[in-house]
Amino acid sequence: MKSDFTQGSVARKLLNFSLPILFSNLLQASLLLITGLWVGNLLGSAAFAAVTVSTSIVVVLLAFVMGVNNATLTVFAQLKGAGNQAETSSYLSAFTFLLTSLSLAIGLLGYLLAGPMLAFINTPASIMDQAKEYLQVMFIGTLFLTGYNFIGSLLRAFGDSRTPMYFVLLATLLTALLNPLFIAGLNMGVAGAAWAMILSQGLAFLYSLFYLSGRSGVGLPAFKIQRPKAIEIRTILELGVPSGIQMIVIYAGMTVILSLVNSFGEDVVAGFGAAQRLDNIILLPAIALGAAVNAMAAQNIGANQWARITDIAKIGIGYNVAVMGAFAATLFICAEPLVKLFISDQGSVDFGVSYLRTIALFYPFIGLNFILNGIVRGAGAMFQILALNIISLWLLRVPLAYWITSLYHERGIALGIGISFLISSLFSIAYYRWGGWRSKRLFTRQRQ
């Protein structure tokens, strides 16, 4: 079911489009949770640690290819808004060529260098063999992961967020079913967990290809392999490289914050870990709204409907304030029982509760960043978004967290991070209001 965002009710279309994205994000997050639960319960803590270490490497190495995939939404949504079928077909071939090449290259390098990478991050010898086994299998399936994420982003660009949700739902259900079969039934150990995920994603990818082959109601032109043009590769990389670097910037910043948390001891680390699990779930609605306004804004930019883009921003901000405000109030009231779902030691619980009640006050501001940056991303201003993220993480969040903890000790962690959310939202507002993103043109050169 495709949707034309250049006409009709902005409020209704934004709500209907963002809800399936939210559910997809919840399902995507549950994939690793399901694998972790089966591994931990069937194979023990050493195997769980091996999977945890390996997953962190996979995420970092795939950051670039997933960044290129993120360019899909902006490129095809603008082409959809412009009604340009010829360029849509050409870019579809260029994306397929580039993402397939990158996925195969990273998959091969990851497989061959699994051992050295694990040694580089000081993986304990007791879990090295299991971690390497899991990591190598995961890299075999790089193409499947990239493939079904690409098709999902492509469909969202054309206004269909419901069908990609079914792809993720299929992968999640298959992962839940195949994990115990492969791990215990076939006695494959941690490799079985990796094969379960890869096979699940592979079948979801095949299903997505089958769906596209009919193109029923999708609005995509017939697909044919073409030699990619230099301008197309340059445009894709112009959007994808900053997105990939942005992912690395985010992970690096999180690692530095974690090192600060580690300096305060076991209770703080455990409490922070529990709070982060809740934090990651609560931010999903803001992330979904950001992805939705990205697609909606890009379609309207392609159609030169600038008045609707302003409406999308205003309504997106309204939804964000309502949703994140409600979550913040709930979290403030229910922080203690929620933290106790993960940990029971009172010292850890106390820190987790204090952290959540402080950070909850700043949730609407981080949500505002997702909305306004999503609008700007719809124009293709990816380097500017990268700059805003560098400011948010490295010029604000990390220094503020260190400075305020020097004044208030561990209680300053949440306050420093929260204040960085507030200040970074002011940068996002300023760039949205006065920045040059409206003059960004992705396809001018092709049309000359």
Q: What is the mean pLDDT of residues 415-434?
A: 95
Confidence category of residue 222, pLDDT binned at 50, 70, 90: low
CA distances from 234 to 68, 156, 376 (A): 11, 23, 20
The 8-class DSSP code of residue 5 comes to: T
3-class DSSP assignment, residue 122: coil
Point out the least confidently predicted range of 49-63, 284-298, 427-441: 49-63
State pLDDT tens for residues 314-368: 999 999 999 999 988 998 898 999 888 777 788 888 988 999 999 999 999 999 9
Give the mean pLDDT of the chain: 86
Give dist(CA 60, CA 50) in Å, integer.
16
pLDDT at 221: 66
Percentage of the residues of the chain whose pLDDT score is greater than 90: 40
The encoded tokens of residue 114 equal 């699994």
Give dist(CA 103, CA 148) in Å, integer.
12
Confidence category of residue 59, pLDDT binned at 50, 70, 90: confident
Instruction: Identify the residue whose tokens are 């909850």.
Output: 360
3-class DSSP assignment, residue 341: coil
Give dist(CA 217, CA 358) in Å, integer.
46
pLDDT at 447: 38
Q: What is the mean pLDDT of residues 123-141?
A: 87
pLDDT at 271: 82
Give dist(CA 81, CA 84) in Å, integer.
8
Confidence category of residue 260, pLDDT binned at 50, 70, 90: confident
Percentage of the residues of the chain whose pLDDT score is greater than 70: 96
CB 292, CB 376: distance < 8 Å = no
Q: What is the mean pLDDT of residues 58-80?
A: 80
pLDDT at 445: 42
pLDDT at 272: 82
pLDDT at 2: 62
Q: Report which residue type is found at 432.
A: Y
pLDDT at 396: 94
Q: What is the mean pLDDT of residues 18-41?
A: 84
Confidence category of residue 312, pLDDT binned at 50, 70, 90: very high
Q: What is the mean pLDDT of residues 67-91?
A: 83
pLDDT at 192: 92
pLDDT at 13: 93
Give dist(CA 139, CA 86) in Å, integer.
34
pLDDT at 185: 84
State pLDDT tens for residues 394-410: 999 999 999 999 998 98
Greater pLDDT, 252 or 158: 158
Confidence category of residue 86, pLDDT binned at 50, 70, 90: confident
pLDDT at 218: 57
pLDDT at 448: 36
Q: What is the mean pLDDT of residues 4-28?
A: 90
Q: Which helix (H) or strand (E) holds 13?
A: helix 10-43
